[in-house]
Amino acid sequence: MKLYHVTNNCASHIALSDIPVVEYVELYNDLKERMAQRRYHIGHYFATEIENGLKFFLILLDDTTSEVLVTSFVPDYYSEGLASLTALHPAFHPFEREIHELYGVPFDSHPWLKPLRFSHDRRDKASTMDSYPFYSIEGAELHEVNVGPIHAGIIEPGAFRFICAGEQVLHLEIALGYQHRGVEGEMVRNQNRLRQTLIAESIAGDTAVGHATAYAEVVEKFAGFKASKSLSLERMIAIELERIAMHLADTGALATDIGFQLYQVACEALRTVTINTSQAWCGNRFGKSVIRPCGSNHPLTEQKIALIRKNISEVRRRYNEVREDIMESPSLLARFEQCGLVPKSEMETIGGVGQAARASGLLRDLRATHPSGYYTEIKHEPILKHDGDVMSRLATRMDEVLQSADYIESALANYKPQGDIPAPDYNATLQGDALAFSLVEGWRGEICHVALTNGEGEIVKYKIKDPSLHNWLGLAIAVRSEGISDFPINNKSFNLSYCGHDL
């Protein structure tokens, strides 16, 4: 029996009738083998309510062939719990925890089904942050340090509980779920697509372009809209601009955390140039409003192209100088090298994605493994580092800035606006009874949006996965046995999103 519907990131939507409905036992046995091959990783895994029960969907990404495997199952879970996949492959942990939290599905032998995000529609309303099951270790020599949920900076809420022996961290537990925006519900409650786009841009404020692109691609797949080459190119420019801006900001933030003023101010100045370029393009420094479904309100003009090229080549030149200095700065290297190690095997086990995974030598880059749009033409070479320490994560960022600048430069070098980019269409008819997913490599990593439509072509289920969902655990692992005072640089080297996780 066919277990999966095979498709890829460039294909259109999938009719629900094309997705096989399998037996969980068979899927479980297959995944046990398949995941052990280490060539697949999870795109998304979620459940949705149907008449008298739940239907589960699983999207699996094959990193060697660009194939995407989609399957579903409808278990009779009230009689018995589902065998936990997390127990075999820990990368499943956030998904099973979410399903458990939302629908109370028991997962047998799951190592620890603690709540994921305390969303408003969770099943067990008695489960609140006050009763969060924090891990604890007994010992007269140990002490616990709780940081947050309210922090001393202008950042989002999240509690970090350290168990330390003196200055050394034995264990860090990260408890998120202080924001209850209900983004996924909001995307369904109102079918106005302009409104949905605006919400998508706000899923994680630092990834406005990434999430808006993911949303636009989902809608376009339902609508059967094929983005023209110029539209895909402009979206690529927007995503890479965002990547440059955020990597610059993080380089500066890492310098701030070690009290290194020189690199801090140098990077802040360059970031300003970059985000001002976005502003000149679309009127918003974070690239909001540049991505719209089925078209664009801000097609590039000759003038804007010239400005972007000028600014980006300037940023590239100056940042390269900063990069070379950083690589030769002994006091900085003494802080970042061999600090916060996450080996490749560990990163793979927990399902790490994006720039943090690449810093550990794990190839997780959708631009290379599952390209769509303009990336199919670029033949992207992912940047891999192998040490998995703070320095590797910084070095990945630094190299990616230069690479992104090169992509922008070469794409715009011969680009003449054709005037063939339509205005956005918020009213296109969507294919009914279908599933569409989008996979976008944002600056932080893999963004996956999945939507289901009903018979009338309305979106009835919208699932969002920000790369932070996977990588928060990576941070917890990175700081183990490090000094507690090195937590901030580790945190900054991952720079994960609280709201992208909490939704």
Partner 1 sequence: MLVKLLNTLLMVVVALSITGVINRTRALLAGRKGIRFLQHIYNVNLLLRKGAVYSTTTTALFRIAPVVYLGATLLAFLFIPIADLEPLLSFHGDIVFVAYLLALSRVAIVLAAMDTGSSFEGMGAAREALYGALVEPALMMGMATLALFCGYSSFADIFATAQELNMNLTIVLLLVAYVFVVIMIIEAGRVPVDDPKTHLELTMIHEVMCLDYSGVDMALIHIAGWLKNAIFAIIAANAVAVAFSFHWWFAAPLAILATGIAIGVVESFRARNKLSRNATFILTIVAMSALVLLTGFLLIQNIEI
Does residue 153 bind partner 1 (CB under 8 A)? yes
Does residue 80 bind partner 1 (CB under 8 A)? no
Does residue 123 bind partner 1 (CB under 8 A)? no
Does residue 265 bind partner 1 (CB under 8 A)? yes
Does residue 258 bind partner 1 (CB under 8 A)? yes
Q: With the C-alpha atoms ordered 182, 184, 190, 193, is the resulting torsion angle positive or negative?
A: positive
Among 17, 37, 52, 485, binds partner 1 (CB under 8 A): 485
Structure tokens at 414: 């011969």
Category of 339 on φ-ψ map: left (φ > 0), alpha (ψ -120 to 50) or beta: beta
Q: Kindly identify the residues of this chain, within the stretch 291-330, that bind partner 1 according to CB under 8 A.
A: 329
What is the smallest separation between the CB atom of 479 and partner 1, expressed in angstroms?
Answer: 10
- C-beta of residue 123 within 8 angstroms of C-beta of residue 104: yes
Phi, psi of 108 (to 5 degrees): -65, 140
Nearer residue to partner 1 within complex by CB, 197 or 264? 264
How many chain residues bind partner 1 (CB under 8 A)?
31
Nearer residue to partner 1 within complex by CB, 45 or 487? 487
- Which of 222, 122, 181, 232 minimizes the C-alpha distance to 430? 222
The Cα 433–Cα 10 span in angstroms is 20
Does residue 262 bind partner 1 (CB under 8 A)? yes
Does residue 488 bind partner 1 (CB under 8 A)? yes
Does residue 104 bind partner 1 (CB under 8 A)? no
Among 101, 173, 240, 257, binds partner 1 (CB under 8 A): 257
Q: Which stretch binds partner 1 (CB under 8 A): 36-44, 331-339, 467-475, 493-501?
A: 331-339
Nearer residue to partner 1 within complex by CB, 88 or 269? 269
**Bridge partners of residue 82, in order along the sequence:** 107
**Burial class, 170, CB count within 10 angstroms (exposed 0-12 / middle 13-18 / buried 19+):** middle
Q: Kindly identify the residues of this chain, within the stretch 401-460, that bind partner 1 according to CB under 8 A.
A: none
Does residue 11 bind partner 1 (CB under 8 A)? no
Among 260, 375, 407, 462, binds partner 1 (CB under 8 A): 260
Nearer residue to partner 1 within complex by CB, 79 or 261? 261
Concatenating the DSSP letter of every residue in 188-244 gives HH---HHHHHHHHHTSSGGGHHHHHHHHHHHHHHHHT----HHHHHHHHHHHHHHHH
> Within 10 A of 390 (CB to CB), how many other CB atoms are there?
28
Does residue 261 bind partner 1 (CB under 8 A)? yes
Give the 3-state DSSP-derived string for 133-166, with helices as H, strands as E and coil as C. CCCCCCCCCEEEEEECCCCCCCCCCCEEEEEEEC
Does residue 335 bind partner 1 (CB under 8 A)? yes
Among 59, 214, 241, 339, binds partner 1 (CB under 8 A): 339
Rg (CA), the chain: 22
Three-state DSSP class for 14?
Answer: strand
Residues that bind partner 1 (CB under 8 A): 143-147, 152-153, 166-167, 255, 257-262, 264-265, 269, 329, 331-332, 334-335, 339, 483-488
